[in-house]
């Protein structure tokens, strides 16, 4: 295993050399993005306006490394409220061009602006009558000249020491794509809930879609006692329901307080007699609550900030349920 042998033989000088090279690359790419940010002008806004007015889809295309970036830009736009797809320009010339309609907008990436595969489909795009946005590093390139809007993605140098491998240029193109997607997201008033509907799977979707009402305990599973309930009986209710607390209701069946295991510890420290003490005397009034319609992730935030293990849930000012951190863990919100 020569790779492992090399790893074990590395010296501090080797480590320093690798780190110096990495920092140099990141510095070049960071500078390239800063320069692009300073050069942004009206064409960027025009590109956003074209895509926002699009009643079809944003078709993002590019060849080689630009194609990889184009695919990611299309994915980002689709997940942030701007329906988009990636079209491979070589496949487009062999039938996939039929995916494009006059209602679409095409965003074409090519650093040189002279990619053969893109230039081949230019006449067809003209015939379809689709608006074309070009992202290139050369304003005089064929692609830039034929586009309705040209986005400048030029960089002073690549991070590659040979100044050949697309590095800084692809980073800039990717950042410009993100800038387009986020600018449109804000213009569309795209919300966290909208984002969640595009990401229903995984922890992100759970955090953004699951609401307190989906995980709270209610009905017979909700621990409740009344103000005059003996502390002994309140402890039995807590034990039966397994939430580590119980809601305390007044004579009108409105929420009056909460009694938790923390309240119990404080009561025992004072020498309270569990057989002759009413829960009214040891409960915490005005408990922290959350509305049933709130996101479950908000319940997590409240419990972490307040350092509590359970939370009462209300709906329309009335007690509707309760949950604890274990419920949120089971729902994989945490």
Distance CA 19, CA 3 (A): 19
Was 94 annotated as part of a binding site? no
Distance CA 256, CA 71 (A): 56
Nearest to 77 by CA among 64, 63, 58: 58
- Please answer whether residues 105 and 50 qualify as being in contact, where contact means their C-beta atoms are separated by less than 8 angstroms: yes
What are 92's two structure tokens? Answer: 């487009």
Cβ–Cβ contacts within 10 Å for residue 332, how many?
Answer: 12
Pairing of strands 84-87, 58-62: parallel
Q: Which residues pair with 289 in a beta bridge?
A: 312
Cβ–Cβ contacts within 10 Å for residue 114, how many?
Answer: 14
State the DSSP string of 165-204: SSSHHHHHHHHHHHHHHHHHHHHTT--HHHHHHH--SHHH
- Please answer whether residues 325 and 301 qualify as being in contact, where contact means their C-beta atoms are separated by less than 8 angstroms: no
Binding-site annotation, residues: 88
Binding-site annotation, residues for Zn(2+): 88
């Amino acid at each position: 295993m020569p790779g492992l042998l090399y790893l074990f033989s590395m010296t501090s000088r080797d480590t320093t050399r690798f780190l110096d090279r990495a920092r140099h690359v990141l510095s070049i790419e960071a500078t390239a993005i800063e320069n692009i940010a300073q050069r942004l002008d009206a064409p960027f806004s025009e590109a956003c306006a074209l895509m926002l007015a699009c009643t079809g889809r944003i078709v993002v295309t590019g060849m080689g490394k630009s194609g990889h970036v184009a695919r990611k830009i299309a994915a980002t736009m689709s997940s942030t409220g701007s329906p988009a797809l990636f079209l491979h320009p070589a496949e487009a010339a062999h039938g996939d061009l039929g995916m494009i309609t006059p209602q679409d907008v095409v965003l074409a990436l090519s650093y040189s602006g002279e990619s053969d595969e893109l230039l081949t489909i230019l006449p067809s795009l003209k015939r379809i009558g689709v608006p074309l946005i070009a992202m290139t590093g050369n304003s005089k390139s064929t692609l830039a000249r034929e586009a309705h809007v040209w986005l400048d993605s030029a960089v002073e140098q690549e991070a590659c020491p040979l100044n050949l491998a697309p590095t800084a240029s692809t980073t800039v193109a990717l950042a410009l794509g993100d800038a387009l997607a986020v600018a449109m997201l804000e213009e569309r008033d795209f919300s966290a809930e909208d984002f969640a509907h595009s990401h229903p799977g995984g922890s992100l979707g759970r955090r953004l879609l699951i609401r307190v009402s989906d995980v709270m305990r209610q009905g017979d599973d909700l621990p409740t006692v009344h103000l005059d309930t003996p502390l002994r009986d309140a402890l039995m209710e807590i034990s039966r329901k397994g939430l580590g607390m119980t809601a305390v209701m007044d004579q009108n069946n409105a929420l009056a307080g909460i009694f938790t295991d923390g309240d119990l510890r404080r009561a025992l420290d004072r020498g309270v007699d569990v057989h002759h003490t009413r829960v009214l005397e040891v409960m915490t009034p005005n408990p922290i609550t959350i509305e049933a319609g709130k996101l479950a992730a908000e319940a997590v935030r409240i419990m972490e900030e307040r350092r509590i293990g359970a939370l009462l849930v209300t709906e329309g000012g009335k007690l509707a349920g309760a949950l604890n951190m274990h419920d949120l863990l089971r729902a994989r919100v945490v």
